[in-house]
């Protein structure tokens, strides 16, 4: 039962750090997009879908109006069987949520809301081009709860230019005080060709030092643990049982369908990429063509490398039996040499069923994964 991702590429405004396919749009654009999205479901889901998890992301899905969200719910109702769906998440920009929109989401079946708060400090929101959102988060979470959406996540960013350890702790403490069951933390990255990366190049902003970023990473573990949340992935913390089931599909290289402009999917190691261009997406749909390119199937080495890249982000690590199915060989046969060195360095460890990064290894995870991936260059 493949999961389902739906991309809504609209925002109130484009954030300076963002390189996802998204942009500002008016009501007419959003209506045209829903027309095209409905047609894509007609073309690609004629026999229906029965996912265990659904995720609506963006962009800002709640940039859609309440009536448009109800229409999206009707589209899904015609094509998606939710009888086996255990988790239905929608991303929400706090400033865009109204009681009417929350009711429309709940009627659609959404039972988990993921709020892109990023920071509670107006100064840092301004630096992220989100100054208008200051103070919106507590009210938005309350609106979601009132609509019956009980499972709540808060996204925060850290290592922001000029941010201190105490300021990050304040952000984290405020998020936890809202009673959220899940927190996602992301170190700020300077993606190519974004306004923020250009500010970095011209010296307008100064990035956090690696030492400060590491201190924030370690602080997050202590603060969330005191609140009863456990780190289950490098950047994600949850109360027991509240882990994001949809993201676990990505981290374990499961199967999912992607719908909407710019969406990706992967079924059986074959990646499908929808065109990240609304005009081209709409044009292809109008011709009755699925708006996607299909990659060549991944080789065993590529699937195994992807599993390591994603799965070692989890604190439980990569299931050894799953690696064997993907790679066609045991983990120790393929990666034994590098793995042994990483174990000696205290960065990697084995359980009877999994290989995983140690707490020290999670801090330098990119280096751990690179060391192991270099061993995967055997012929496919």
pLDDT digits (tens, 9 = 90+) for 78-135: 999 999 999 999 999 999 999 999 999 999 999 999 999 999 999 988 888 765 677 8
pLDDT digits (tens, 9 = 90+) for 55-66: 999 989 999 999
Provide mean pLDDT across the span 4-19.
Answer: 74
Confidence of residue 378 (pLDDT cuts 50, 70, 90): very low
The half-sphere exposure of 114 on its side-chain side, counting CA atoms within 13 A, is 26
Q: Which residues pair with residue 233 across a beta bridge? A: 236, 314
Q: For residues 374 and 349, which has the higher predicted lDDT (pLDDT)?
A: 349
Selected residue with higher pLDDT from 39 and 198:
39
Q: Residue 48: helix, strand or coil by DSSP?
A: coil
- 3-state secondary structure (DSSP) of residue 83: coil
Q: Is the pLDDT of residue 292 over 60?
A: yes
154 pLDDT higher than 80: yes
Please answer whether residues 4 and 50 qualify as being in contact, where contact means their C-beta atoms are separated by less than 8 angstroms.
no
The confidence band for 21, taking pLDDT boundaries of 50, 70 and 90, is low
**Domains, the chain, with CATH or none:** 3-250 (3.30.750.200), 300-376 (1.10.10.920)
């Amino acid at each position: 039962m493949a999961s389902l991702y739906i991309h809504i590429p609209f925002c109130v405004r484009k954030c300076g750090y963002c390189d996802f396919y998204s942009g500002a749009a008016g009501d007419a654009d959003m209506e045209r997009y829903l027309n095209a999205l409905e047609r894509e479901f007609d073309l690609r889901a004629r026999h229906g879908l029965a996912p265990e998890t659904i995720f609506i992301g963006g962009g800002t899905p709640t940039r859609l109006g309440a009536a448009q969200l109800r229409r999206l719910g009707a589209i899904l109702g015609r094509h998606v069987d939710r009888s086996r769906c255990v988790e239905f998440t929608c991303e929400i920009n706090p400033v865009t949520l109204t009681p009417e929109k929350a009711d429309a989401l709940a009627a659609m079946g959404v039972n988990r809301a993921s709020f892109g708060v990023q920071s509670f400090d107006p100064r840092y929101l301004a630096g992220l081009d989100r100054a208008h959102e200051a103070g919106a988060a507590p009210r938005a979470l309350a609106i979601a709860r009132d609509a019956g959406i009980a499972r709540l996540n808060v996204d925060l960013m850290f290592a922001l230019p000029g941010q201190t350890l105490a300021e990050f702790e304040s952000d984290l403490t405020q998020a936890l005080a809202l009673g959220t069951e899940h927190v996602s933390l992301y170190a700020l990255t300077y993606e190519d060709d974004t306004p923020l990366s250009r500010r970095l190049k011209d010296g307008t902003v100064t990035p956090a030092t690696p030492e400060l970023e590491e201190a924030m990473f370690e602080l997050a573990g202590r603060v969330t643990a005191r609140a009863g949340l456990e780190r289950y992935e490098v950047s994600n913390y949850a109360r027991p049982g509240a882990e994001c089931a949809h993201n676990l599909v990505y981290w374990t290289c499961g199967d999912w369908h992607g719908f909407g402009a710019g969406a990706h999917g992967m079924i059986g190691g074959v990646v499908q990429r929808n065109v990240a261009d609304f005009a081209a997406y709409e044009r292809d749909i109008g011709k009755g063509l699925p708006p996607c390119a299909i990659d060549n199937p991944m080789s065993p080495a590529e699937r195994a490398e992807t599993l390591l890249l994603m799965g070692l982000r989890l604190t439980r690590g990569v299931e050894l039996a799953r690696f064997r199915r993907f790679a066609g060989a045991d983990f120790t046969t393929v990666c034994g040499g590098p793995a042994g060195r990483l174990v000696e360095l205290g960065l990697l460890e084995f359980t009877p069923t999994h290989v995983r990064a140690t707490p020290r290894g999670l801090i330098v995870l990119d280096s751990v994964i690179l060391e192991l991936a270099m061993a995967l260059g055997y012929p496919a």
